[in-house]
Chains A and B, each alone.
Chain A
Amino acid sequence: DTAVSQTPKYLVTQMGNDKSIKCEQNLGHDTMYWYKQDSKKFLKIMFSYNNKELIINETVPNRFSPKSPDKAHLNLHINSLELGDSAVYFCASSQEFMWGTEAFFGQGTRLTVV
């Protein structure tokens, strides 16, 4: 029973297309995130939602638009895909506690733009 699940796992698409990645968590967490891992394995936060409200919006092109229909789901829509968007995108969730916010990650979506 996967805690944080993303679909699809692999996504190959042409430049200029629009695509979406879906994420669902069954941990009952209030906060969900999108992270991007580049070809050098560097991980950087993109967005964070808490109870469907956008909390963190890093410097990300506005072609990327997150949507959270409810606190268990956080989707990422990308418009007009560019070659530089190729990366692995990880969804994560956490529950804020005074004693830490351990994040649990999905299996990742490897996006390849050709």
Chain B
Amino acid sequence: ELKVEQNPLFLSMQEGKNYTIYCNYSTTSDRLYWYRQDPGKSLESLFVLLSNGAVKQEGRLMASLDTKARLSTLHITAAVHDLSATYFCAVDHAGGTSYGKLTFGQGTILTVHP
């Protein structure tokens, strides 16, 4: 059974600082997604990572995927308050009729303080 673990689960950051959220998964997959969820809102797709070594950047966020280590990272650069949200990684089971079946990590609640 595929397991996806994020750490940390809670992250309190000062504005301007850098930090990294880690996402480990237990079985082979080369499809990993990062989502953002604001309180009471839907999930917004941030990044789609589809191969070993994939790196994508959008603004202050950068995501990478190492399929050999079964690890993805979400790096936050010079955090601002607007980045406060819950961040989820999700891994696609990527096989047979399980395409599109996402297993989510527990989520990382990010709070950025002035």
Could you list which residues of chain A lie within 8 angstroms of chain B, going by C-beta atoms? 31, 33, 40-45, 48, 55-56, 90, 94, 96, 99-108
- Output the least CB separation between B11 and chain A (Å): 14
Question: How far, in whole Å, are A112 and B90 apart by their CA atoms in the complex?
Answer: 26
* Main SS at interface, chain B: strand
Q: Annotate B71-99 by CB proximity to A: 1 below 8 A, 0 otherwise.
A: 00000000000000010101010000111
Question: How far, in whole Å, are A33 and B31 apart by their CA atoms in the complex?
Answer: 18
Q: Which residues of A contact B102 (CB under 8 A)?
A: 45, 103
B101 within 8 A of A: yes
Asked if A105 contacts B42 (CB within 8 A), the reply is: yes
B45 within 8 A of A: yes
Q: Which residues of A contact B104 (CB under 8 A)?
A: 42-44
Asked if A45 contacts B101 (CB within 8 A), the reply is: yes
What range describes how many residues of B lie at the interface? 20 to 34
| Given known A56-B98, A108-B42, contact A102–B88 (CB-CB < 8 A) | no
Asked if A42 contacts B42 (CB within 8 A), the reply is: no
Q: A45-B103, A94-B100, A100-B33 are in contact. List 18 more A-B contacts (CB 8 A).
A: A41-B37, A41-B107, A43-B104, A44-B104, A45-B101, A48-B100, A55-B97, A90-B43, A100-B50, A100-B92, A101-B100, A103-B33, A103-B90, A103-B100, A104-B45, A105-B43, A105-B44, A108-B42
Q: Which residues of B contact A106 (CB under 8 A)?
A: 42
B41 within 8 A of A: yes
Q: Which residues of B contact A45 (CB under 8 A)?
A: 101-103
Asked if A107 contacts B42 (CB within 8 A), the reply is: yes
B61 within 8 A of A: no
Q: Which residues of B contact A108 (CB under 8 A)?
A: 41-42
